Amino acid sequence: KQEVTQIPAALSVPEGENLVLNCSFTDSAIYNLQWFRQDPGKGLTSLLLIQSSQREQTSGRLNASLDKSSGRSTLYIAASQPGDSATYLCAVSWGNKLVFGAGTILRVKS
C-alpha cells in the first residue's frame, strides 16, 4: 500500500530558528513529491514540487530534498517567522494520484 508519513505531528519554535520537517513514503517508484501549506480554514498553497529525477528544490527560505532510495523528503525552513505558522503537508504522486501525509502543524512564536 502506498502511504505517506510526516514527522513531527506538531512543532513549536521561537522566531528565527531553522527547522526541518520530515516526510517518508513507501514505494520508491514515485512520479513527484509536493510540499503544500494550509492555513486554517483555507485551501492549499503549493510550496515546492520535486520531480522523481531531482534531488532538491529551493524557493526563498524553503528548501526541499528528496531521497527516493530511502523513501524520504525533508522541508527545510530557514530563519522562521510567525507568518510561517501553518500546517505543512507532504504529498506523493504515484501517477496522477496524490497521497497526502497527515501534516505537521507548525507554530512560530514571536
Partner 1 sequence: SAVISQKPSRDICQRGTSLTIQCQVDSQVTMMFWYRQQPGQSLTLIATANQGSEATYESGFVIDKFPISRPNLTFSTLTVSNMSPEDSSIYLCSVARQGSSGKQYFGPGTRLTVT
Site residues, partner 1 (CB under 8 A): 31-32, 34, 36, 41-46, 49, 51, 89, 91, 93, 96-103
Smallest distance, partner 1 to C-beta of residue 103, A: 6
CB closer to partner 1 out of 59 and 81: 59
Minimum Å gap between C-beta 95 and partner 1 is 9
Torsion from C-alpha of 6, 11, 109, 36, nearest 10 degrees:
10
Dihedral sign (CA 65, 13, 82, 4): positive
Contact status, residue 48 vs residue 75, Cβ threshold 8 Å: yes
- For residues 4 and 77, which CB has a smaller minimum distance to partner 1 in the complex? 4
Q: Which lies closer to partner 1 via its Cβ, residue 11 or residue 99?
A: 99
Residue whose C-alpha is closest to residue 80's, from 41, 50, 107: 107
